[in-house]
């Protein structure tokens, strides 16, 4: 998740859950082969064999519209150690869509086909190629065509965020649309959207008819959500979240984005508030603060209670 699930967040969440895979924030591809340093900046895990510190594989996500440049950059990601490549056809951001990247491509399954097949041709056979889509742009009328474009272009996996671009992030997610195409395609399907709890995951698996799930915001709101779903663990108590918050704060401060420390922490608290009322209190205490030490002392004070 762009601007949210960066290396530090990935490191933390994969250290407390047994995720099968982590997708990076997207790398924007326009009209060039990006230098290696761009990939390393986006995914420092590439310097660690493509794994987070707790050995969860990561996969680089690319967002762009020009098939040849997408293919060249996909190849580079693989050469640098990414565990496969993921192509983003779901991003609703205006700037991205204006340049014909992300969700706007859902209006044109043939363009999706061209991109996916070019990337497939360029990659070694063993590399997993996945794509991420929504149900459509304004509505789901092209959904089957989009799925068929991705699968006939020989991608291996398809993640479906079960909403249209127009739906944005508004609940509900329409998981049954995934179930409805289940028998019409051979591609491995992964369901995504509005999974916040064990109950949501169970219902999603039933409606989407796949056991493969991708977590989004829910993974930030309940830090051990993956293990709650996968292994029936109890949701993490607030006291454990507090320890994580402190750990995260320290990681942020030593990381190369420490300048953004206060906004990063506030951002995570906005998600935590969804599951923990205590996060609301903490948020209100630090919301006007920018100084790192002041923030850290309040985090320590409140989380000690
Ligand atoms: C702040 C934010 C950033 C996101 N960035 C990406 C991204 O870079 N790539 C991507 O495929 N999806 C991205 N998404 C979409 C999520 O991966 C996910 O598909 C969506 O939030 C639906 O799942 P959820 O309801 O569980 O959050 C982003 C979502 C949010 C809220």
Looking from the CA of residue 86, the nearest atom of ligand 1 is: 11
Predicted pLDDT of residue 257: 61
Predicted pLDDT of residue 87: 98
Mutate to test the pocket of ligand 1, among 24, 158, 217, 275 (most ligand atoms within 8 A of CB): 217
* Two structure tokens written together for 240: 């454990």
pLDDT tens by residue, 231-269: 999 999 999 998 898 888 877 777 666 667 788 888 999
pLDDT tens by residue, 67-92: 999 999 999 999 999 999 999 999 98
For ligand 1, say whether the CB of 274 is within 6 Å of any of its atoms.
Answer: no
The rounded Å distance from CA 96 to ligand 1 centre is 14
Backbone torsions φ then ψ of 65, nearest 5 degrees: -130, -10
Active site residue 91: yes
Mutate to test the pocket of ligand 1, among 9, 132, 161, 266 (most ligand atoms within 8 A of CB): 161
pLDDT tens by residue, 117-142: 999 999 999 999 999 999 999 999 99
Looking from the CA of residue 194, the nearest atom of ligand 1 is: 25
The rounded Å distance from CA 201 to ligand 1 centre is 17
The rounded Å distance from CA 1 to ligand 1 centre is 5
For ligand 1, say whether the CB of 194 is within 6 Å of any of its atoms.
Answer: yes
For ligand 1, say whether the CB of 25 is within 6 Å of any of its atoms.
Answer: yes
pLDDT tens by residue, 36-57: 999 999 999 999 999 999 999 9
Backbone torsions φ then ψ of 90, nearest 5 degrees: -130, -10
Q: b/e for 278-296, b at 16 or more Cβ within 10 A?
A: bbeebbeebeebeebeebb
For ligand 1, say whether the CB of 81 is within 6 Å of any of its atoms.
Answer: no
The rounded Å distance from CA 125 to ligand 1 centre is 28
Please name which of 71, 147, 66, 60 lies closest in space to residue 109, comparing C-alpha atoms.
147
The CB-based long-range contact list for 290-293 (8 Å cut-off, 24+ gap) reads: 290/262, 291/262, 292/253, 292/258, 292/261, 292/262
Q: Is the pLDDT of residue 305 over 60?
A: no
For ligand 1, say whether the CB of 195 is within 6 Å of any of its atoms.
Answer: yes
pTM of the model: 0.95
Q: Is the pLDDT of residue 162 over 90?
A: yes
């Amino acid at each position: 998740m762009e601007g949210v699930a960066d290396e530090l967040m990935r490191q933390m969440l994969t250290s407390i859950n047994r995720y099968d895979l982590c997708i990076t924030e997207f790398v924007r591809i326009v009209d060039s082969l990006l230098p290696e340093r761009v990939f390393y900046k986006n995914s420092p895990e590439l310097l660690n064999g493509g794994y987070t510190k707790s050995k969860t594989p990561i996969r680089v996500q690319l967002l762009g519209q020009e098939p040849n440049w997408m293919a060249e950059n996909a190849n580079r990601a693989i050469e640098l150690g990414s565990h496969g490549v993921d192509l983003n056809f779901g991003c609703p951001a205006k700037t991205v869509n204006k340049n014909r990247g992300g969700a706007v491509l859902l209006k044109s399954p043939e363009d999706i086909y061209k991109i996916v097949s070019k990337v497939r041709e360029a990659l070694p056979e063993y590399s997993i190629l996945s794509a991420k889509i929504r149900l459509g742009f304004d509505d789901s009328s092209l959904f089957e065509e989009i799925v068929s474009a991705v699968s006939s272009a020989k991608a291996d996996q398809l993640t479906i965020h079960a909403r249209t671009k127009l739906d944005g992030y508004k609940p509900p997610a329409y998981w049954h649309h995934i179930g409805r195409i289940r028998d019409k395609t051979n591609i491995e399907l992964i369901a995504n959207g509005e999974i916040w709890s064990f109950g949501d995951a169970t219902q999603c698996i039933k409606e989407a008819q796949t056991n493969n799930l991708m977590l989004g915001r829910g993974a930030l709101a309940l830090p051990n959500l993956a293990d709650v779903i996968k292994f029936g663990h109890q949701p993490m108590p607030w006291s454990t979240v507090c320890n994580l918050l402190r750990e995260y704060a320290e990681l942020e401060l030593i990381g190369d984005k420490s300048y953004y420390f206060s906004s990063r922490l506030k951002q995570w608290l906005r998600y935590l508030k969804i599951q923990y009322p205590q996060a609301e209190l903490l948020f209100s205490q630090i919301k006007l603060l920018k100084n790192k030490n002041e923030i850290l002392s309040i985090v320590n004070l409140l989380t000690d209670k």
